[in-house]
Amino acid sequence: MPDDERHEDPRPEQGPGDSPDSPDWIHRAVIYGVDVLRFQDSDGDGNGDLKGLVSRLDHIQALGADCIWLLPFYPSQRRDNGYDVIGQLGVDPRIGELDDFRLLAEEAHARGIRLLLDMVLQHTSNRHPWFQAAESDPRSRFREYYIWSATEPPDSESQSAFPGEAHTDGIWSWSERARAFYRHQFYDFEPDLRIASDGVWEEVKGILDFWIALGADGFRIDAAGLLFADIGLPGDQADAGKRLDDLRRYLKKRAPEVALLGEVDLPPEQLPTYFDRGRIDQLLAFLPNNALMHSLATEDAGPLCAAVARHDEAVRHGAWRQFLRNLDELNLSHLADEDRERVFGVFAPHENERIYGRGIRRGWAPMMEHDRRIRMTLSLLFALPGAPLLVAGQEIGTGDDLGLDGRAAVRLPMQWSSEPGGGFSTSHDGEAAHLVTDGPYGIARVNVADQERDPSSLLHLVRALIRLWREHPEIASPRVERLEADRAIVAFRYDGIAVAHNLAKDPRPLPEDLAGGELLLGDETEDGRLLPGYGFRWVRLPDGR
């Protein structure tokens, strides 16, 4: 059968979870991201660990999240927050050991919580045994695992993923041991894997199989949009569709309920390759995330609503994972230069708040500044088509530390209480040294224990939003109707539910449907028609509306 027929999607109108090859649980999951090293210390060394995470599962369960995204916890030098992986089949000794992961899987599953592992397939560390063998012996089978050139390729001066940082001068570096150049789209200590190699691809399936056997329910594929990038030398590029079809067939036989979440930061028109035929179940919604920042900065709902519509047009049967802020920079590369500068002017006016010329390194709550805007944006996360992703600390509004280098500004220990050590650790070493103790986002003012006791807290709002989202599964559908409204109002209707969010600091008029109806969550109207500044409103519509 010709390739163009074999890869044609015969189900263009299907909704999330309809593909027989695609598990549907991920489309109704609330994902909660955890950087284990910074979540809970169980042994007093100042670093979070898997046993500490187990001890805090009740918090995640009470929140209402039912899937934990585990950032890399594998052996690593932690030069790139764990993404510089030295071995994919183990646990960083600072974080625990394999038996601790088994315990986590057992305890999480007992609470109805699934585990989504961050899988780094685009590169390894240069300390990885594969690269060490590849460097030392050109006849080694591992030589073909990486991308080499005897001479410096002409694209060596191309910008890396982290322009301006150390170890990022171009995307090719010289290996004295190998007597050749190797490609690295990230840091020079993270050589790119050659996904076109059948040997590498079999290793990938073996790694997934290993963690499935230990209790993994799904995988977030890191830098998935770069796995098949056409950068390098002839023969280096793998066919994305064929590789992903092969992976889906493998998972269907091995573990059909295992789900895949892709980090594919590409324009919507390039995304069908990743969605087609149930290849990847969900993709992170980067374009709406950028558009949200643009809309917030301008108090104009237009950019956000246009981005939602553009996603729907590009991949009608797709499913999106919406997010506010991850633990990297807030990457605004989808915005035009002029629009990005407007966002910078509002949310990152100082040079030390920006990074790579494209991103912001401030935390979400400090950027939003006003308590009402923090609450409104969290509500909006749950109102967007798709499913929500929270990162640990967002449920209480944690801050940042711009005194730390680069993206580390938002990679901070969890704030559990106001006691010394913030309930995170009894130590002042390791990650505990970076605990925020002072200021408006310090442990005395922002912590789980205090918000647990306050029914009006952000923590209680997030719990209510998760309950409401679960009660109305139609919100996860990509089929949504935008309601005509004031310039600053984001208003959507999903069957019998309508939601509105005011991006402006002053009251704005609501659409008629949202001024009436049964209020499920949010603000009462002013004068029967106005939504307060930074207000939000979820209503049940009368039958037939």
Which residues are part of the catalytic machinery? 222, 263
State the Cα–Cα distance between residues 139 and 388, nearest whole angstrom.
47
Amino acid at 122: Q
β-strand partners of 354: 360
State the Cα–Cα distance between residues 539 and 513, nearest whole angstrom.
9
User: Do the strands 481-482 and 114-119 form a parallel or antiparallel pair, or are they unpaired?
Assistant: unpaired
State the Cα–Cα distance between residues 534 and 430, nearest whole angstrom.
39
Q: 278-292 burial, b if ≥16 CB within 10 A, otherwise e?
A: bbbbbbbbbbbbbbb
Tell me the Cα Rg of the chain.
23
> Distance of CA 170 to CAs 36, 139, 145, 225, Å?
32, 27, 21, 19
State the Cα–Cα distance between residues 192 and 203, nearest whole angstrom.
15
CB burial class (10 A; 0-12, 13-18, 19+) of residue 499? buried
Helix boundaries (H) for 40-128: 50-55, 57-63, 98-110
Tokens of 402: 């711009």
β-strand partners of 501: 490, 536
CB burial class (10 A; 0-12, 13-18, 19+) of residue 518? exposed
State the Cα–Cα distance between residues 286 and 354, nearest whole angstrom.
18
Query: 3-state DSSP call for residue 123?
Result: strand
How many CB atoms within 10 Å of residue 517? Answer: 18
In the DSSP assignment, the letter for residue 524 is: P
CB burial class (10 A; 0-12, 13-18, 19+) of residue 240? buried
**Residue 419 in contact with residue 373, Cβ under 8 Å?**
no
In DSSP notation, 184-226 reads -SS-TTSPBB-TT-HHHHHHHHHHHHHHHHHT--EEEETTGGG
